[in-house]
């Protein structure tokens, strides 16, 4: 038997298996970092203009720095790239002085022009910045961002780019005066067009009239935008940056510390385009850390930057952000000493952790509310009395004690009360709704013409598929049945389906959570103005709209808070939303980590934290982990 294909196949298979096994068991493990934490998923992007989420923020806050940064404890603005600033008497103009020693991670000096470039890029409709609305307090920023122009406006026309241009590099820009736009835009910049039509622009450029139509045609162009010089952003010189606002915006210095306003380097962005510029090899940043390496869904290694102006205050040399999607897994890693911080253990175990009275778990109320939206166009929710009855028949205390159980606070207002922890808002009086009162609820329902729930069909109660939301829904279902005789049917939809239903306003009652962007009532109350994008309840109230608009213009802090109080009182009386409870932070942080603070926005800049290595060794040793 010289050659037998059967034997050959057997040998080949064995050889392949042996080779594969050798390959499979050869690893080159990374040495551990100074500080390791579990991030909950792979970040969607490292581009500060594109991201929206908290887990992206954790990384981006390490590698970039804005004009100001947030104090992790008091949430007060602290000097960032800007070492100081002045505010004009009318509170509309902010002049920032950029540090002379600020540098990019490639060593090039940092100038005010970098902010101008970055902020224009975030407002450029082409960028698709989710968070661009945070810029809209800046003069004309909303117009520029949403392509609003009217006859007579100075405009800039971005011509189509050559096919090989990188994303974010702009096409040739022409400037002129808009003669006409057909069809015209709605007068009020706040009125949104669900389905923007195709438009034709006639622009006078150097005395000649030219026609433009966004698109690929003969008169094609990318965009016709308001001339950027009309927007309240100016680089006065290399180290002076000036921002002019539409209205005095009391919380603006918080906004300048948010990641949508972080600077990005023009050279890097325009050379590599998106997503090339955010790759570990190409990314140039200006924060306390830079990206060392990035392995998809495995880990991100951040390395201390040696060009950061405040590098002497940065005590960690490296940080590992592990991608751990399962909260149980994250907890296991934490308990076995492999990570130093997990943002949230599984909800089911929070109560047990609290009962253990651990020194590394201190939940604190967050600036986040769990609430129900009531679609006021659906019967019987069009009746204010029914909405109030539903609110009063909800035993919120039973929900936080029976379901969530991690220290959540039953809510009577839409703005979480934790706002009062912060100096400027210590005496904010929230507008409140009534406490649990099933008798009064039944009376209101009868007054509305539905005694004992008679005449009310089963109401669908929409939530996304989430264990906690489902359990809360079940409890409310029972409470409404018992006190009001109203039948609710739980509808659970998977996340994107749920968002779709809510956006189409195809629901009656829908669960939702809202996370404040900054500490100010505006981040919660601004959403319910008539026609607001996130209102979604079809509710509209002229007095409410006026109060929110007044608050925006008001220079006096006390009067401003009074406006918000009055507005919130209307919201709580009219009850297009029922606030249920205020969420809590759930960080678990090893006690040898210093400089880590709980705060209402659950934001934890890692630039100034440090690890007591000796205490760590001692602790892990006592727990038998080393």
Partner 1 sequence: MIWFIAKRLLWMVITIWVVFTVSFLLMHAAPGGPFDRERKLTPEVKANIERRYDLDKPLPVQYFHEMFRDLHGDFGYSYNLGDFSVNQIIAAGLPRSATLGILALVFAVTLGFCAGVVSAVRRGGLLDFTLMSLATIGIALPSFVIAGMAIIAFVFVWPIFPAAGFGSLRQAILPSLCLGAPFAAEIARLVRTGMLDVLGQDYIRTAYAKGLPTRTVILRHAMKGAVLPLVSYLGPTIVDILTGSTIIEQIFAIPGLGYHFVQSALNRDYTLAMGVVLFYTVLLCSINVVVDIVYTVLDPRVKVE
Residues 29-68 close enough to bind partner 1 by CB under 8 A: 29-30, 42-47, 50, 52
Q: CB of residue 128 vs partner 1: minimum separation in angstroms?
A: 4
Q: Determine, following the binding rule CB under 8 A, whether residue 467 of this chain makes contact with partner 1.
A: no
**Could you say which residues in the range 89-108 bind partner 1, by CB under 8 A?**
none
Q: Rounded to the nearest 10 degrees, what angle do helices 557-574 and 384-392 cross at? A: 100
Establish if 191 lies at the interface with partner 1 (CB under 8 A): no
Please tell me the distance from the alpha carbon of residue 308 to that of residue 69, in angstroms, as a whole number.
14
Q: Is 440 in the site for partner 1 (CB under 8 A)?
A: no
Coil, strand or helix at 204: strand
Cα-only R_g, the chain: 28
Phi, psi of 308 (to 5 degrees): -65, 135
Q: Residue 241 or 498: which CB sits closer to partner 1?
A: 498
Of 90, 188, 194, 614, the one binding partner 1 (CB under 8 A) is: 194
Sheet holding 488-493, edge to edge: 409-410, 577-584, 365-374, 509-515, 459-464, 488-493
What is the DSSP secondary-structure string of 48-95?
TTT--SHHHHHHHHHH---SEEE-TTT--EEESSEEEEEE-TTS-EEE
Q: Map tokens 């309240």 to a residue.
A: 232
The nearer residue to partner 1, 165 or 454, going by C-beta atoms, is: 165
Based on the shown chain and the rule CB under 8 A, indicate whether residue 615 belongs to the binding site for partner 1.
Answer: no
Check residue 329 for interaction with partner 1 (CB under 8 A): yes
3 is a site residue for partner 1 (CB under 8 A): no
Residue 256 vs 536, nearer CB to partner 1:
536
Q: Looking only at residues 267 through 296 of this chain, which bind partner 1 when binding is defined by CB under 8 A?
A: 274-275, 278-279, 295-296
Least CB distance to partner 1 at residue 29 (A) = 4
Instruction: Please report whether residue 17 would count as binding partner 1 according to CB under 8 A.
Output: yes
Which member of 499, 557, 618, 621 binds partner 1 (CB under 8 A)?
Answer: 499
Least Å from the CB of residue 418 to partner 1: 20
For residue 88, give every residue at least 6 positions away whose Cβ sits within 8 Å of its Cβ, in sequence order, or none: 94, 95
Site string for partner 1, 522-541 (x = CB under 8 A): -----------xx-x-----
Q: Which of 86, 172, 182, 193 binds partner 1 (CB under 8 A)?
A: 193
In angstroms, the CA 378 to CA 45 distance is 39
Q: Pick between residue 272 and residue 544 the one whose CB is nearest to partner 1.
A: 272
Nearest distance in Å: CB 194, partner 1: 6
Q: How far apart are CA 310 and CA 251, in angstroms?
A: 25
Give yes or no for residue 76 binding partner 1 (CB under 8 A). Answer: no
Q: Is 249 helix (H, G, I), strand (E, B) or coil?
A: coil
Of 513, 570, 615, 620, the one binding partner 1 by CB under 8 A: 513
Of 175, 126, 120, which is closest to residue 153 (Cα–Cα)? 175
Q: How many amino acids of this chain bind partner 1 (CB under 8 A)?
A: 73
Residues 6+ apart with CB under 8 A from 430: 412, 413, 414, 415, 417, 419, 521, 565, 568
Given 255, 269, 322, 418, the residue binding partner 1 (CB under 8 A): 322
> What is the C-alpha separation between 472 and 461, in angstroms, rounded?
11
Decide: is 5 part of the binding site for partner 1 (CB under 8 A): yes
Question: Is 455 one of the binding residues for partner 1 (CB under 8 A)?
Answer: no
Give the number of other CB atoms < 10 A from CB of residue 313: 11
Q: Is 611 helix (H, G, I), strand (E, B) or coil?
A: strand
Per-residue contact track with partner 1, 148 to 167, x per CB under 8 A? -------------------x
| d(C-alpha 503, C-alpha 607), whole Å | 38
Q: What is the DSSP pairing of strand 459-464 with strand 82-87?
A: unpaired
The residue among 10 and 87 lying less far from partner 1, judged by its C-beta, is 10
Residues 543-572 that bind partner 1 (CB under 8 A): none
The answer to the question of residue 298 lying near partner 1 (CB under 8 A) is: yes
Among 317, 458, 503, 558, binds partner 1 (CB under 8 A): 503
Please answer whether residues 71 and 299 qualify as being in contact, where contact means their C-beta atoms are separated by less than 8 angstroms.
no
| Interface pick for partner 1 out of 240, 293, 332, 492 (rule CB under 8 A) | 332
- The residue within the footprint of partner 1, chosen from 328, 352, 435, 555 (CB under 8 A), is 328
**Binding of partner 1 by 132 (CB under 8 A):** yes
């Amino acid at each position: 038997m010289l050659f037998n294909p059967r034997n050959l196949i057997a040998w080949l298979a064995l050889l392949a298996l042996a080779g594969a096994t050798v390959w499979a068991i050869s690893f080159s493990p990374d040495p551990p970092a100074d500080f390791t934490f579990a991030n909950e998923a792979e970040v969607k992007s490292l581009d500060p203009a594109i991201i929206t989420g908290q887990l992206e923020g954790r990384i981006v806050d390490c590698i970039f720095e804005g004009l100001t940064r947030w104090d992790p404890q008091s949430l007060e603005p602290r000097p960032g790239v800007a070492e100081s600033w002045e505010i004009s008497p009318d509170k509309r103009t902010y002049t920032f002085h950029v540090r002379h020693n600020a540098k990019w991670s490639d060593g090039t000096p940092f100038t005010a022009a970098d902010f101008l470039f970055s902020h224009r890029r975030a407002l450029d409709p082409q960028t698709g910045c989710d968070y661009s609305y945070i810029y809209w307090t800046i003069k004309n920023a909303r117009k520029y961002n949403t392509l609003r122009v009217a006859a007579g406006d100075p405009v800039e026309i971005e011509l189509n780019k050559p096919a090989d241009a990188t994303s974010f590099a702009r096409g040739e820009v022409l400037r002129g005066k808009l003669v006409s736009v057909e069809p015209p835009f709605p007068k009020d910049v706040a009125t949104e067009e669900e389905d923007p039509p195709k438009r034709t622009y006639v622009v006078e450029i150097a005395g000649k009239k030219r026609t433009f139509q966004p698109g690929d045609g003969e008169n094609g162009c990318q965009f016709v935008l308001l001339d950027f010089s009309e927007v309240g952003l100016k680089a006065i010189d290399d180290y002076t940056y000036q921002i002019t606002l539409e209205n005095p915006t009391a919380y603006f210095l918080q906004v300048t510390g948010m990641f949508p306003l972080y600077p990005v380097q023009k050279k890097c962005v325009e050379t590599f385009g998106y997503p090339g510029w955010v790759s570990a090899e190409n990314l140039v940043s200006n924060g306390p850390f830079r990206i060392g390496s990035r392995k998809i869904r495995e880990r991100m290694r951040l390395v201390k930057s040696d060009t950061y102006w405040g590098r002497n205050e940065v005590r960690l040399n490296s940080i590992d952000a592990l991608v751990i999607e399962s909260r149980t897994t994250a907890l296991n890693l934490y308990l076995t000493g492999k990570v130093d911080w997990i943002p949230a253990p599984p909800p089911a175990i929070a109560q047990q952790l609290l009962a253990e009275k651990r020194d590394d778990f201190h939940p604190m109320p967050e600036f986040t509310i769990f609430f129900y939206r009531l679609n006021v166009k659906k019967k019987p929710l069009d009746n204010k009395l029914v909405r109030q009855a539903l609110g009063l028949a909800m035993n919120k205390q039973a929900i936080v004690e029976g379901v969530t159980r991690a220290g959540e606070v039953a809510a009577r207002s839409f703005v979480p009360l934790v706002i009062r922890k912060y100096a400027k808002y210590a005496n904010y009086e929230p507008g409140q709704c009534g406490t649990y009162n099933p008798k009064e609820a039944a009376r209101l329902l009868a007054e509305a013409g539905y005694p004992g729930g008679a005449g009310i069909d089963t109401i669908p109660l929409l939530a996304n598929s989430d264990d906690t939301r489902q359990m809360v829904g079940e409890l409310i279902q029972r409470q409404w049945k018992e006190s009001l005789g109203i039948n609710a049917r739980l509808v659970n939809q998977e996340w994107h389906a749920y968002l779709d239903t809510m956006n189409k306003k195809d629901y009656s009652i829908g669960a939702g959570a809202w996370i404040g962007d900054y500490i100010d009532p505006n981040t919660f109350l601004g959403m319910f103005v008539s026609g607001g994008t996130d209102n979604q309840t079809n509710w509209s109230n002229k007095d409410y709209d006026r109060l929110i608009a007044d608050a925006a213009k008001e220079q006096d802090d006390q009067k401003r808070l009074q406006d918000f109080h009055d507005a919130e009182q209307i919201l709580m009386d009219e009850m297009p939303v029922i606030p249920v409870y205020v969420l809590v932070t759930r960080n678990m942080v090893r006690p040898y980590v210093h400089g880590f603070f709980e705060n209402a926005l659950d934001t934890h800049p890692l630039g100034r934290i440090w690890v007591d290595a000796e205490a760590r060794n001692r602790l892990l040793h006592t727990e038998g982990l080393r």
